[in-house]
Structure 1
Amino acid sequence: MFAKQFRVKSNTVIKGSDRRKLKTDISNAFPMLSAEDLTELVPNKEELNVVKIYAHKGDAVTLYVLHKNPIFFELEKQLYPTVYTLWHYPDLLPTFTTWPAVLQKLAGGADLMLPGVVVPLGGLPEVKKGECCSISVVRNRAPVAVGTATMTTAEMLGLGMKGRGVSVLHTYTDYLWAFGDKSGPPSIPSLDSEVATEGDVEAEGEEGVGEHGDGDRATEPPCPSLEELSLEPREAGEEEGEKEEEKKDGDDADGEEEDSRSPQEQMDALLLQCFLHALKSKVKKSELPLLTSSFLRNHMFSCCPNGKQLDIKKSSYKKELSKGVESIVEVDWRNPELRSFSPPEDVAKEEGLAESNEESDRPYQPPEITTLYSVSARLQSLFEDAQKRKGAVLSSGEVRTIITEYVKKNELVDDTNKNYVNINPTLCDCLLEKSEYQEVEKLKWDDLFARTLDRMQHCHQLVFPGQEPIIKKGHIEPIDLSVASRGSNKKHRVQASTVLQPVPGSKDRVLIQIQGNQVQQAGKLLLDQYQIPRKYVQGLDKVQKPGKKK
């Protein structure tokens, strides 16, 4: 549901009565939560926002956001926890386990197929058809997806674990997860040992994802562990058995060029290579702090050359299980070893090829276009309480929320008519014309919001899939379709020559000249294939009328 960007309709602070209702609804939906748990999820005094959104397929969804993280979402009057909530309460829902390689497919919009489910020694969880459930990966109990069961547990077993098992609604790394702080799942050891082993990933007979994914077999090696990575040398005096195991593991390197280094030294070098490669080409400063488990899983593994596999057990670095959560908080980007590092040629080629293949296989998604507003110098005093300085970019919903909070904080709602707001000196200076200073004492709410937005700097945001948002000043200019006679009066039905040239005096605008009246074909291409909103395309009324051909 959230595999593609969604559109935010409104974002408001929850009212006291709605807060109490939400707490009751959560308690009814998830009775295992204690009173303390409910107070932690829905605190009495901390800010809790209600965000109304439209998913890419048009579904109306309500998000409940606490500390900038969505904690629940409501769809068709049913509450579902997000992965952020499940990381704190991993046993809140019945959980199915799958392989790490399947997670990528689920995040792309696929459902979980029963052949991809790992059956633990304790058996499958008992679920009913349509019941909310979660999905985790082997070796880590932290859920990474939320969905609904497509059948009962008995039916799953009766079908021999074939068919669709869980209809997935939300996953780790989707756009709902990205609406929060983008933290990664914690490492929560499994309570029950899985029947399958690592080698079983290669031997899976069927895909673990549904028809919405690309159907590739989950043959990626699973993460050796989702525990925190600590690059510290082993202490002297480790058990002799580990040395024997390292020697045995070294026999797996058949077919590779002879290397005088021990298997442990080779793994150390590979870990360091992937570590530096991930820091230099995968991690952005804006991502910090970054969980070490996420860094290992999402960045270092992807930097490993083909034919090799990272395995911390075979290195001189040890895993440390800590009660807390370890993160990479800061990186010395000027470190000489990091600055001088460049990935081996074969790795760089593989990476470039993989990126180009990924881009070519990725289905087209239209850009998301959003109108935004920037705080102007005139309105600085009005936005001071919200700590928004000149130049801060906000959505219209955020502006309405800030203005509403300002009015309530300063008790400016008119006592005789709640539809009006009394004008104080700040509102007078920011929103009224000089001629209105002595005449206007109050404004309607709608007029108050309209004047505020009108006096802000207009901006627009473009979000292309997989790219950072682009914010530009001013209104976005629409595509203008026009027809003009040039020289002869020849017109062609579809085949036509085309000329592309920049518009004189403009930096980013281009002019496309097409021979003949191609408004209908161009309009259909823009609206249907490229899915540009109709309001950004002008001139569609210039389509040639039947019977007018010459």
Structure 2
Amino acid sequence: MFKRPFQIKSQAPVRSSDRRKLRADILARFSPLLLEDDLNAAGWKTGDEVVHEKVETSNGNVVAIYRIHNQPWWFRAADERIYPSVYTLWLLPNSFVVLSTHAFVMGKLLGGADLMLPGVVIPKAGLPQLRPGDPVSVNVLDRKHPDGTPSLCVGQALVSTEDAKAEGMRGKGVYILHWTGDWLWKSGDKTKADVTEGTANEGVSDDDEGQEEVISDSAFDGDTVDVPVREEGFPSAEERIADVQDAEDTPNQDAIDEIASVATGPTYEDVDGLLQQALLQALKVKLLPVVESTREVLPMAGSTFFSAYIQTSVPGGGKVDVAKTSYKKLSKFLKAQDKRGLIKVKEMKGEVMITGINKLHPEIVSFQPFRQPKLSQGAASVPVASTAVPPEPAGSITVSNLYKPHGTGTKEVFAEAGKDVHVLYTASEVREVVQQYVKDKGLVHSEDPRKVKLDLYLVQLLGKEEQKQVDVIGRDELGKRFLEQCQSHYELVIPGEEPIVRKGAPPPILITIERRHGNKVVTKVSGLETYSIDPEKSAEDLRSRCGTGTTVQPQAGSNPTRPQYELIVQGSKAKEVCEYLDERWRVPFTGRGNAKSSSLIQVTDKVQNKRQ
């Protein structure tokens, strides 16, 4: 969070009433370890002045810093939770939950990496009880420091203690927010923690006694505390893995693999750079040509821009997980690009919308597009401005239903689960988040595991009358209610093109059989352009296939600048049209020529006065 310099937006003393509230909030958050007397003893008396600084970090996050005696004591992160600075940790060493790690892992944490669970040293007393979102400090516990060093990092727990044990201590455990040597630390008096060696005691397991030391003291008490990962004399990943193979808390290969990922995995800076490259490629190569040909694509939902443009522009054809960047949320990333002047965004009804692109921005002008891997069968991309007749598709058109937390209760559940509420999810992913939330909150019915107890958020999925009468609900019904409260989207994948993501349900191709001019029957087909089906080519094909006349004319009421066309086939030819759409254009769910309505095909027979 403070890896790079931050910009101070405002600075002002805190009023006495707000000081009391701040103090009460801090005591409540860190109870029972932190007491009023502890704060007084550490040097923060009730009447002492507190200065509030509003700062903006390099990734666009707005953070509040609270200074006491010109020293940063506390900071309020973007999630509105309060955390202590490392200076406060040293003044109050027994007032915060501590996790311990190996010295070489600490070297990586002091560069901005997160703490992986296999890197946690489990003392004989066991792990402290943690819940996701709890504040955590991190120190070193090894043979040289058997009592543990002072804490050198501050972070947020990502998993509970029970879940960490259940998963075999694998995965990411702590999201590191602040560490000794970062710019928040540099904004203080730059004192360093005393990490002199201690004597052996029961703070560390007996196995650690035989471990070889893997990092020099200079990592902690030299001129700098920002330890380079590949400093001369610093152990390689192989040496670190070998060092922990005998440790009591890393008994399996999975844990060793996780340690390797700490040493070699991408950093926030790496993923941020990848995301920025994908953004510039998406803007210059894909979106700008469309915007310059027609401005009707803007404003565009940020989630649509990310899913359909940025994700398909990642170097190497991969994907970027926003949660693994320093921005954490898509909305913050987009707003940060607005501040840089690359794009214009506006928040509308809780959704960040792209409203403009600065095509003269130096980064866009100087950006050299890279070659993307060829699209595989079934892959897709965003439609570009072109009037060329599309080639015959190699695969089938596919439509996927996507959902975004939107209704009452859904956003809160996703936020509690640490998920970005501005990203689109499949139905199975939504159900997975809900089931994990139920498990984490202990809401499974004790007598019937197929039922779920309703808490403050889940009960909001019900109607007002139901809320008064229902306190448990079936798992399947809960998943159904949850999806109903989400905002529906769909992703349309047309072979050879970029995916198209839009709100609502996909508009169907309309096939209407009607009588005109006496007893003359015709079959009208509209909505082909949505699926990149060329009406003129289709008219030519159906003329040969059906052995009858066909015409194409502008559809009444369509936009003159982007007209939609209506294909008219002489006779009652709904079955033949459905077969053609299925075989030639791979439009799914056509009933294999049975002329039945489906999610993408709607057949209406006005002659027989019925919908098929």
Do Structure 1 and Structure 2 share a fold, with TM-score over 0.5?
no
- Normalising to structure 1: TM-score of the pair? 0.39
TM-score by length of 2: 0.35
